Amino acid sequence: MIFGYILVSMALLIVLWLGTGIRRIGSVSVGAPIRQRDGSALLLIDLQSVFWDRGPYSEAAKNTAAAAIFKDVEAARAQNHPVIAVRQEWSIPSTKAVAKLAMKGQAIEGSEGTEVAEVFASLPDHVIVKRVQDAFETGELDALLERLGVGRLRIVGLDFNYCVQKTALAARNRGYDVTVVKDGTLSAAPTEAAEKRMSAAGVIVS
């Protein structure tokens, strides 16, 4: 009987631990409000081999997104705006477990395919790593944007419903002016709900 209670308790603890990982993956951070900054930057979200080369996106959709991304990078270069690539690496124990169970183990820290996809590898001036969908969660992006004097962000990449949305919302929570370039994103599912949520938060979806 006691052994049974122990097993049930352990199972509940595991479920709660995994639940914490799931909540952490999709949460949106708040952060300190930024001061007035005049600079702009382009964020490339999760344009990694494991997602771009092997993700659930059609070649036609990828070609359209790539064209828009290259156009935005060219515009950023012309205006001396930094281009920042953000790579996903699941490294928190609970989120790594969720990734193994529900995401085919993709983008786990140290796994193959977490590098920026070859087609985009030469584009970024800076590369940072995020641990969850929200690129601001670790504080590294906050620090980089402060150092660069950035107050306006343009965002491209994938997936529109997840990492693009959560990063855009986290940026708005801090006071950034945010534009998501829809043609420069990819999504495996309909985007209406995510677009509505971002627009309600003051994100421009163009």
| Per-residue pLDDT tens digits for 172-204 | 999 999 999 999 999 999 999 999 999 999 999
pLDDT at residue number 104: 85
* Reported pTM: 0.90
Distance CA 138, CA 131 (A): 7
- 150-158: strand order across its sheet: 126-130, 83-88, 39-45, 150-158, 177-186, 204-205
**Which residues, listed in sequence order, are joined to residue 90 by a DSSP beta bridge?**
108
Q: What is the average pLDDT value for the chain, to the nearest integer?
A: 91
Q: What tens digit of pLDDT does each residue of 62-78 get? A: 999 999 999 999 999 99
Structure tokens at 40: 């702009």
**Residue 14: pLDDT band with limits 50, 70, 90:** low
Distance CA 128, CA 88 (A): 9
pLDDT at residue number 100: 86
Q: CB of 33 within 8 A of CB of 144?
A: no
Strand, helix or coil for residue 41: strand
Average pLDDT over residues 86-94: 93
Q: How many CB atoms lie within 10 A of CB 193?
A: 11
What would the 3-class secondary structure string for 131-145 be?
CCCCCCCCCHHHHHH
- Least confident range from 45-49, 83-87, 90-94, 118-122: namely 90-94
95-121 core/surface letters (b: 16 or more CB in 10 A; e: else): bbbbbeeeeeebbbeeeeebebbeebe
